[in-house]
């Protein structure tokens, strides 16, 4: 038995049943992390604290004490989620020495569930990017094909799960940053409903869009991990008063209506991706679902809307990096120069570009034409999603227009790179949950991801439908 290849659910059950010890599992994971270190998935590896936690969990089990829902299970966390006493860099030089004095709520919950945190995942700097090449700690390689990108921004989280370096990982998704890398690496990634998971301790990128979510190798594992991290938190006033048992879902789509948005498929994108996604839709039909053509007429405006809102919010959120309270400070004699020199020296190129665009669309004279206009289009997009999801239970489409592209691809025009997010950003604008699940491979063997979008707080229905496809595809 190859321990690292077990599912999260299996390993958890085996540890609880004393068939495996958490120390044994955790050691196997660290061996695997060392063997696959070339993937550069992790910025910080926490071997010592992980082994201590594993031994503590084994002790609890030996003494017959009550254990948590993820007892002894190694998990990886994206490096924009604050971990007390463990460096949290956001893959930025600016925070390369930053050690949070507190845990994010999701970390508190993982710890309370007795999970073993084995490392902090590489990512695009401050979660800005779709290839994981915008990291001050070097690019991540795709576990499926190391010459290719893992997607981004949660590229380290997705590639680590695909490489069996953990049984699950946490990512964050502002415009597709969980789903697109999950799709590129052939794993399952969920962006929960906005507000379903507390964001306290998540370093903010775009606050009206950011959401933490799980990345795993199967749907069941995803539900188990979500169940631990979700729920209201008084430290996050934008977190919803909703707590469900997300593990309690029913597989099957009989009688469900699945919307196929014509605007998604009318676009030009990889024929292999298109065919695989449409073939999966046929499988759903065979499994008893009804396919229905729907329309999200503002879809074409979603990408612009997203980038205006996300950059605007980022320019405001990242104003806190001033070289005074935390992070690096550049040498300067004047206090204003501390801001200029620190920000200029320690932010990467993409982060600077987005701050500039954000300040532009918010600046006097342009606010109405860009930010205010985007906020109105947002209302429209949300209304169209709400209307479509009254007619149908889910909306089906591709997660990404392509499979994983080659590392080192040169986008001289950054607006070209932004189109990688075309199918994922509308969901963050509307706030709905969406899951990316593998639905095949292209001729080079690269995974293709299918995206299912659900109703707000419809995560259980999404898991049920996603697992149906997982079973159909074997």
Partner 1 sequence: MKIDRKEVLHIAELSRLTFTEEELDAMGEQMGSVLEKFRRLDEVDVSDVPPTAHILPFVNVLREDKAAEPMPREELLKNAPESDGSAYIVPKVLE
Kindly list the catalytic residues: 78, 153, 177
Single out the residue of 5, 376, 406, 471 in contact with partner 1 (rule: CB under 8 A). Answer: 376
Sheet containing 394-398, strands listed edge to edge, beginning at the edge strand earlier in sequence: 42-45, 116-121, 74-78, 169-173, 211-216, 188-191, 434-441, 447-453, 394-398, 257-261, 290-294
DSSP 3-state percent helix, strand, coil across the chain (nearest 5): 45, 15, 45
- Window contacting partner 1 (CB under 8 A); options: 93-101, 164-172, 264-272, 459-467: 93-101
- Least Å distance between CB 418 and partner 1? 8
| CB closer to partner 1 out of 23 and 310 | 310
Q: Which helix (H) or strand (E) holds 257?
A: strand 257-261
- Least Å distance between CB 334 and partner 1? 6
Single out the residue of 2, 38, 268, 333 in contact with partner 1 (rule: CB under 8 A). Answer: 333
- Least Å distance between CB 376 and partner 1? 4
The yes or no reply on residue 427 touching partner 1 (CB under 8 A) is no
The yes or no reply on residue 195 touching partner 1 (CB under 8 A) is yes
Place of tokens 């499979």: 403
- Window contacting partner 1 (CB under 8 A); options: 170-178, 345-353, 400-408, 444-452: 345-353
Single out the residue of 264, 347, 423, 463 in contact with partner 1 (rule: CB under 8 A). Answer: 347
Q: Mark residues 384-413: x for contact with partner 1 by CB under 8 A, - for none.
A: -----------------------------x
The yes or no reply on residue 205 touching partner 1 (CB under 8 A) is no
Q: Which residues contact 236 (CB under 8 A, 6 or more apart)?
A: 105, 198, 199, 200
Single out the residue of 286, 335, 409, 445 in contact with partner 1 (rule: CB under 8 A). Answer: 335
Single out the residue of 147, 275, 344, 444 in contact with partner 1 (rule: CB under 8 A). Answer: 344
Distance, CA of 173 to CA of 158 (rounded, Å): 12
- Least Å distance between CB 295 and partner 1? 14
Place of tokens 């996050």: 236
CA 159-165-170 angle, 5° bins? 65
Single out the residue of 301, 367, 457, 472 in contact with partner 1 (rule: CB under 8 A). Answer: 301
Place of tokens 């994108």: 269
| CB closer to partner 1 out of 211 and 436 | 211
Q: Give one DSSP letter per residue of 302-330, joined into a string.
A: HHHHHHHHHHHHHHHHGGG-SSSSSS---
Look at residues 376, 290, 292, 358 and name the one whose alpha carbon lies nearest to residue 319. 358
Q: Mark residues 15-54: x for contact with partner 1 by CB under 8 A, - for none.
A: ----------------------------------------
DSSP strands (E only) in 74-208: 74-78, 116-121, 169-173, 188-191
The yes or no reply on residue 415 touching partner 1 (CB under 8 A) is yes
The yes or no reply on residue 352 touching partner 1 (CB under 8 A) is yes
Taken in order 123, 126, 416, 304, the sign of the CA dihedral is positive
The yes or no reply on residue 367 touching partner 1 (CB under 8 A) is no
Distance, CA of 35 to CA of 149 (rounded, Å): 19
The yes or no reply on residue 431 touching partner 1 (CB under 8 A) is yes
- Window contacting partner 1 (CB under 8 A); options: 15-23, 269-277, 355-363, 460-468: 355-363
- Least Å distance between CB 199 and partner 1? 12
- Residue 16: alpha-carbon gap to chain centroid: 28
The yes or no reply on residue 234 touching partner 1 (CB under 8 A) is yes
Residue 153, preceding peptide bond in cis (omega within 30° of 0): yes
The yes or no reply on residue 295 touching partner 1 (CB under 8 A) is no
The yes or no reply on residue 248 touching partner 1 (CB under 8 A) is no
- Residue 437: alpha-carbon gap to chain centroid: 13
- Least Å distance between CB 112 and partner 1? 18
How many other CB atoms sit within 10 Å of the CB of residue 412?
6
- Least Å distance between CB 88 and partner 1? 10
The alpha helices in 233-326, defined as continuous H runs, are 262-266, 271-286, 299-317
The CA-to-CA distance between both ends of the chain, in Å, stands at 21
| CB closer to partner 1 out of 290 and 360 | 360
Interface contacts to partner 1, rule CB under 8 A: 97-99, 101-102, 194-195, 208, 234, 237-238, 240, 298, 300-301, 303-305, 307-308, 315, 319, 322-329, 332-336, 338-341, 343-344, 347, 352-353, 355-357, 359-361, 363, 370, 372-380, 382, 413-415, 418, 430-431
């Amino acid at each position: 038995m190859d321990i690292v290849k077990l599912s999260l659910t299996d390993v958890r059950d085996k540890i609880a049943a004393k068939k495996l010890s958490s120390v044994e599992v955790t050691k196997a994971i660290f061996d695997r992390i060392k063997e696959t270190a070339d993937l550069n998935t992790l910025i910080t590896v926490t071997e010592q604290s992980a082994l201590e936690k594993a031994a503590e969990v084994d002790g609890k089990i030996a003494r017959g004490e009550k254990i948590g829902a993820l007892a002894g299970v190694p998990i990886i966390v994206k490096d924009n989620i604050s971990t007390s006493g463990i460096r949290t860099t956001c893959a930025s030089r600016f925070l390369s020495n930053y050690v949070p004095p507190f845990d994010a709520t999701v970390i508190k919950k993982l710890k309370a569930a007795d999970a073993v945190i084995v490392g902090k995942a590489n990512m695009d700097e401050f979660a800005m990017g779709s290839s994981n090449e915008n990291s001050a700690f070097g690019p991540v390689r795709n576990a499926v094909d190391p010459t290719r990108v893992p997607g981004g921004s949660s590229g380290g989280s997705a590639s680590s799960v695909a490489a069996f370096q953990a049984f699950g990982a946490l990512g964050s998704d502002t415009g597709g940053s969980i789903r697109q890398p999950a799709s590129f690496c052939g794993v399952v990634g969920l962006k929960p409903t906005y507000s379903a998971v507390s964001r306290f301790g998540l370093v903010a990128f775009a606050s009206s869009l950011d959401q933490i979510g799980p990345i795993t190798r199967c749907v069941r594992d995803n539900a188990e991990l979500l169940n631990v991290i979700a729920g209201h938190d008084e430290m996050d006033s934008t977190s919803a008063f909703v707590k469900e048992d997300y593990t309690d879902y029913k597989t099957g789509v009989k009688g469900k209506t699945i919307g196929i948005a014509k605007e998604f498929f009318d676009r030009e994108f990889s024929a292999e991706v298109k065919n695989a996604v449409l073939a999966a839709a046929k499988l759903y039909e065979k499994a008893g679902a009804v396919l229905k053509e729907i329309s999200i007429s503002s879809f074409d405006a979603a990408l612009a809307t997203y980038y205006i809102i996300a950059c605007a919010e980022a320019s405001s959120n990242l104003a806190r990096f001033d070289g005074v309270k935390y992070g690096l400070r550049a040498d300067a004699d004047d206090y204003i120069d501390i801001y200029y020199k620190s920000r200029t020296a320690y932010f990467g190129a993409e982060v600077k570009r987005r701050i500039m665009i954000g300040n532009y669309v918010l600046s006097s004279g342009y606010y109405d034409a860009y930010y205010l206009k985007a906020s109105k289009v947002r209302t429209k997009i949300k209304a169209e999603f709400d209307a479509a999801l009254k007619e149908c239970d889910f909306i089906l489409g591709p997660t990404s227009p392509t499979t994983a592209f080659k590392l080192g691809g040169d986008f001289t025009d950054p607006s070209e790179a932004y189109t990688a997010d075309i199918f994922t950003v509308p969901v963050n604008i509307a706030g709905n949950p969406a899951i990316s699940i593998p639905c095949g491979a292209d001729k080079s063997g690269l995974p293709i991801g299918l995206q299912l979008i659900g109703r707000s707080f419809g995560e259980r229905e999404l898991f049920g439908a996603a697992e149906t496809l997982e079973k159909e595809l074997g």
